[in-house]
């Protein structure tokens, strides 16, 4: 049995080193509220992060896998969500006359897209397509640490580094060139709850929001996971004793 345990661990060890292939840029690690066995998303941070997304990111980035109704999981109530949704116009139709028309978004609608289609998004951004942010935290190696670092990584380019027109230097971007200008800065928006809107705060809040958006089932998953592991542990102890007892009479 020991040998088998070694083999399985060796497989995982091998997996983890082979996965670290690629980037040479060191991404700092941060302590996120949702890490660990009992981690949950910090609701107030995520709510503030939604405000950052709404007022800054959503100008260019869509989040088309989310609906306004999902905000309920962040602690917004039904009326607040209706108000948030009604700020957006959604194309609907055709009506009885056969025409498409615009209406206020409902909680059941997906987040409104800033551009009518991908080509329009590209055209408006010098040919660089602003990626959809619904899954961005899961779609990047190092996830939340990377997003947070990236937002903080707009440093002065080193003297010998050539930054072409329409590009910006970013310490944590692969190749150090990014088409998105620094989106956040100290005091970029005001928070309703009086939190100081420093760059670091804005960035970590929006990262929390994006992490939730990418994996909304995380809290349920971990809660159920604890129960399942405890159950299996008890079952293992019982099968262990049963095995010993059943095999006790076997003479070797």
Q: Can you list the positions of beta strands (E) in the chain?
A: 89-92, 101-104, 168-169, 177-178
End-to-end CA distance of the chain: 18
Tell me the window of 24-32, 189-197, 199-207, 232-240 that interacts with other proteins (CB under 8 A): 232-240
The least CB distance from residue 150 to other proteins, in Å, is 14
Read off φ and ψ for residue 110, nearest 5 degrees.
-70, 155
Interface with other proteins (CB under 8 A), residue from 89, 120, 163, 233: 233
- Is 4 a residue that touches other proteins (CB under 8 A)? yes
For residue 92, what are the β-bridge partners?
Answer: 101
- What residue spans of 125-196 are helical by DSSP H? 143-152
Is residue 19 part of the contact set for other proteins (CB under 8 A)?
Answer: yes
108 near other proteins, rule: CB under 8 A: yes
Is residue 29 a contact residue for other proteins (CB under 8 A)?
no
**How far is 95 from 223, CA to CA, in rounded Å?**
46
Contact (Cβ atoms closer than 8 angstroms) between residue 136 and residue 214: yes
Q: How far, CA to CA in Å, does 156 sit from each of 4, 79, 114, 188, 215?
A: 52, 44, 30, 20, 34
Residues 160-179 that bind other proteins (CB under 8 A): 174
Q: Does 62 sit near other proteins (CB under 8 A)?
A: no
The number of angstroms, rounded, from the C-alpha of 51 to the middle of its chain's C-alpha atoms is 15
24 binds other proteins (CB under 8 A): no
In the region spanning residues 110 to 139, those forming contacts with other proteins, defined by CB under 8 A, are 131-132, 134-135, 138-139
Choose, by CB under 8 A, the member of 191, 195, 216, 219 that binds other proteins.
Answer: 216
C-beta of 117 vs 217, nearer to other proteins: 217
Residues 6 or more apart whose Cβ sits within 8 Å of residue 205? 45, 46, 48, 49, 52
Q: Which residues bind other proteins (CB under 8 A)?
A: 1, 3-4, 7-8, 10-11, 14-19, 21-22, 37, 65, 67, 69-70, 107-108, 131-132, 134-135, 138-141, 143, 174, 214, 216-217, 220-222, 224-226, 228-229, 231-236, 238-243, 245-247, 250, 252
């Amino acid at each position: 049995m020991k040998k088998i345990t070694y083999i399985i661990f060796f497989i995982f060890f091998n997996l983890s080193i082979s996965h670290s292939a690629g980037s040479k840029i060191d991404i700092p690690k941060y302590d996120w509220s949702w890490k660990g066995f009992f981690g949950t998303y910090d609701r107030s941070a995520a709510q503030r992060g939604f405000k950052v997304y709404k007022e800054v990111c959503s100008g260019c980035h869509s989040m088309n896998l989310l609906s306004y109704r999902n905000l309920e999981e962040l602690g917004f109530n039904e009326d607040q969500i209706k108000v948030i949704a009604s700020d957006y116009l959604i194309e609907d139709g055709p009506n009885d006359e056969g025409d498409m028309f615009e209406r206020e978004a409902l909680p059941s609608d997906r987040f409104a897209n800033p551009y009518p289609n991908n080509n329009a998004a590209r055209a408006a951004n010098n040919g660089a397509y602003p990626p959809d942010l619904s899954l961005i935290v899961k779609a990047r190696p190092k996830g939340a640490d990377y997003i947070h670092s990236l937002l903080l990584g707009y440093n002065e380019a080193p003297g010998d580094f050539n930054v072409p027109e329409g590009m910006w230097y970013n310490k944590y971007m692969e190749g150090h060139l990014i088409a998105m200008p620094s989106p956040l800065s100290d005091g970029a928006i005001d928070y309703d709850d009086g939190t100081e809107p420093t760059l670091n705060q804005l960035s970590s809040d929006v990262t929390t929001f994006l992490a939730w958006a990418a994996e909304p089932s995380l809290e349920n998953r971990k809660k159920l996971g604890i129960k399942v592991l405890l159950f299996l542990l008890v079952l293992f102890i019982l099968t262990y004793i049963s095995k010993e007892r059943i095999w006790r009479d076997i003479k070797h």
